[in-house]
């Protein structure tokens, strides 16, 4: 199941990459059903909050008709930034699974459990992320 979800995360990250945004994709799951999926669109929307995690949380809240997502799990290609982690915390999401660490990240947040998943299509996403930043230089 996790491998399939991360495949979708990588597909979402590809959409951000194709839009010249940092390739990050996210999926929110409730009872083994995808509630929302999304990608970074900060550049195309000119919106500092256009992070994949926030986009997914907003979409899920709208679909479910509630802000409390304590029964949902978030999957994301890159470890969430501090802004996203605060939104995750406020949405009461307890489980966050990600593929890659970000450098300089050292903080843990309350009851939110953030878990790195190993060996799930990591190489595909590493290549996409590397290509994106190499093309920017």
Q: In a 3-state reduction of DSSP, which class is residue 131?
A: helix
34 - beta bridge partners?
29
Distance CA 32, CA 84 (A): 22
Torsion angle, CA of 3/4/5/10, rounded to 10 degrees?
90
Q: In a 3-state reduction of DSSP, which class is residue 75?
A: strand
53: annotated active-site residue: yes
* Residue of 43, 53, 59, 122 marked active site: 53
Residues 27 and 75 sit within 8 Å (Cβ to Cβ): yes
The single residue listed with the structure tokens 């009851």 is 111
- Catalytic residue annotation: 53
């Amino acid at each position: 199941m996790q491998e399939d979800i991360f495949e979708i995360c990588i597909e979402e990250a590809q959409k951000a990459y194709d839009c010249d945004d940092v390739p990050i994709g996210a999926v929110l799951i409730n009872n083994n059903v995808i509630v929302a999926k999304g990608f970074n669109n900060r550049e195309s929307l000119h919106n500092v909050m256009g992070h994949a995690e926030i986009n997914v949380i907003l979409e899920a809240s709208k679909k479910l008709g509630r802000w409390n997502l304590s029964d949902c799990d978030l999957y994301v290609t890159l470890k969430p930034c501090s802004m996203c982690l605060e939104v995750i915390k406020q949405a009461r999401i307890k489980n966050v699974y990600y593929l890659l660490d970000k450098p300089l990240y050292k903080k843990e947040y309350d009851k939110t459990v953030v878990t790195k998943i190993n060996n799930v299509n990591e190489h595909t996403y590493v290549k996409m992320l590397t290509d994106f930043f190499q093309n920017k230089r």
